[in-house]
C-alpha cells in the first residue's frame, strides 16, 4: 500500500554528483602531463548520462529486489529532475565551488575548529589562492581517497545549486533536508 509520499531525489542525485567528482579527479591524474588543465578535467556529457543511467538502473533493480511497491521507483519526471540537477551542478561547478569556499571562509568557527571537511573542503582551499596547483592537486587526491569528503562536497554543491543557481526558489529551499543545521546556517 502506497502512502502517496514520493521518495527523495536527493540521495541518488548526491551519489551521482559524488561519482562525477571522483571521475573528474581520475581525469586529472590520468592526464599525460599530470597538470590537470581544464580540458583534461571536463567530464563528457556521454559519461555523465552513463553514470546517471547506471545509478537509476541500480535504484530500480534494488526496488524490485526488495519487492518495493512501484511508487518507490522514480518516474520519468523524477528521472528528468535528477538529470537536470546533476547537469546543472556540473555546468556551474566552478561557480559553486567558489561560492562554497567563499561562504565557508567567511565563518570563523570553521577555521577555529578545523571543520573544513564538514563542507567537503580542504583547509588549503580556504587559505590559499584558488588557482594554486598544489591546492588543486591536493583536492583531486583527497576527492579520490576520501569518499566521505567527496560525498560531503557533493551535498554542499547540490545545496548551493538549489538555492543559489535556481534563484533560491522557496520550494527548493524547503526541500534541502540533507544538510544538518550547522551546514545549513553557513551555506543557506
* Average pLDDT, integer, range 39-57: 81
As a whole number, mean pLDDT of residues 27-48 equals: 68
Q: Give residue-wise pLDDT tens across range 120-167.
A: 999 999 886 555 666 889 999 999 999 999 999 999 999 999 988 776
Q: How many CB atoms lie within 10 A of CB 26?
A: 15
The residue with greater pLDDT, 41 or 138, is: 138
In 66-169 the beta strands, taken as DSSP E runs, fall at none
Average pLDDT over residues 30-53: 70
Distance of alpha carbon 118 from alpha carbon 156, whole angstroms: 9
**So what's the pLDDT on residue 127?**
82
Q: Which of 159, 151, 161, 165 is nearest to 182 (CA)?
A: 159
Can you give the pLDDT at residue 36?
45
Based on DSSP, count helices (H) and strands (E) in the chain, helices before strands.
11, 0
Q: What is the pTM of this model?
A: 0.86
pLDDT above 60 (res 173):
no
C-alpha cell at 19: 561519482
- Domain boundaries along the sequence of the chain: 10-187
For residue 110, what are the contacts with CB-CB under 8 A and spacing of at least 6? 104, 116, 118, 119, 126, 186
Query: Please, is 78 exposed, middle or buried when counting C-beta atoms within 10 Å of its C-beta (0-12, 13-18, 19+)?
Result: middle
* Torsion angles phi and psi, residue 36, rounded to 5: 60, 50
Q: In this model, does residue 69 exceed pLDDT 80?
A: no
Residue 32 in this model has a pLDDT that exceeds 50 = no
Which range, of 12-21, 30-39, 83-92, 177-186, averages the lowest pLDDT?
30-39
172 has a pLDDT exceeding 70: no
User: Which own/partner contact pairs does 162-166 have at CB distance under 8 Å and 24+ positions apart?
Assistant: 162/85, 163/187, 163/188, 164/96, 164/99, 165/88, 165/92, 165/95, 165/96, 166/88
Least Cα distance to 22 among 150, 158, 167 occurs for: 150
Q: What percent of the chain has pLDDT over 90?
A: 56
Residue 116 has pLDDT above 90, yes or no: yes
When pLDDT is cut at 50, 70 and 90, the band that residue 93 belongs to is very high
> 183 pLDDT band (50/70/90 cuts)?
very high
Q: What integer pLDDT is reported at residue 105 of this predicted model?
A: 94
Tell me how far apart the alpha carbons of residues 107 and 90 are, in angstroms, rounded to a whole number. 25
Amino acid at each position: 500500500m502506497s502512502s502517496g509520499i514520493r521518495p527523495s531525489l536527493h540521495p541518488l542525485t548526491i551519489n551521482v554528483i559524488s561519482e562525477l567528482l571522483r571521475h573528474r579527479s581520475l581525469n586529472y591524474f590520468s592526464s599525460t602531463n599530470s597538470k590537470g588543465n581544464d580540458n583534461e578535467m571536463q567530464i563528457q556529457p556521454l559519461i555523465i548520462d552513463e553514470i546517471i543511467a547506471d545509478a537509476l538502473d541500480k535504484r530500480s533493480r534494488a526496488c524490485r529486489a526488495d519487492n518495493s511497491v512501484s511508487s518507490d521507483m522514480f518516474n520519468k519526471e523524477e528521472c528528468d529532475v535528477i538529470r537536470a540537477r546533476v547537469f546543472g551542478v556540473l555546468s556551474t561547478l566552478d561557480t559553486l565551488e567558489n561560492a562554497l569556499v567563499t561562504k565557508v571562509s567567511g565563518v570563523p568557527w570553521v577555521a577555529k575548529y578545523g571543520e573544513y571537511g564538514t563542507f567537503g573542503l580542504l583547509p588549503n582551499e580556504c587559505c590559499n589562492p584558488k588557482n594554486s596547483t598544489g591546492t588543486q592537486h591536493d583536492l583531486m587526491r583527497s576527492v579520490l581517497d576520501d569518499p566521505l569528503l567527496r560525498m560531503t562536497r557533493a551535498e554542499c554543491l547540490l545545496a548551493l545549486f538549489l538555492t543559489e543557481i535556481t534563484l533560491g526558489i522557496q520550494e527548493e529551499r524547503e526541500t534541502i533536508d540533507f544538510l544538518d543545521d550547522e551546514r545549513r546556517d553557513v551555506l543557506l
